[in-house]
Amino acid sequence: MAVIKTEDNQFTSDLAHPKVVVKYYADWCGSCKLFAPKYKRLSDDERFKDVVFLDINAEQSPDARKLAGVSTLPFFATFKDGQLQEALSTAKEDVLVQMLEKL
């Protein structure tokens, strides 16, 4: 599945899916840029075919940022049926995989 870019005005409707992971990033964030290909690869991973992968610019989407309590970037949050499940800042792929497996 493709990574879907989103923003505040459509974020709530994007969370309507049963399982969602969100990557919060900023254009200036080097670690965010380095993680982008890993995030894309995970979105194509058969294990996570039922998860919607969202990408949102944390600086341009303050409501979405506040919902997950974003503190540093890159930041990831998982949602199940629209409810926040887990949220943390990491640049480690294995940590994100563990989050996805809990969904």
Which residues form the catalytic set? 29, 32
**Within 10 Å of residue 23's Cβ, how many Cβ atoms?**
23
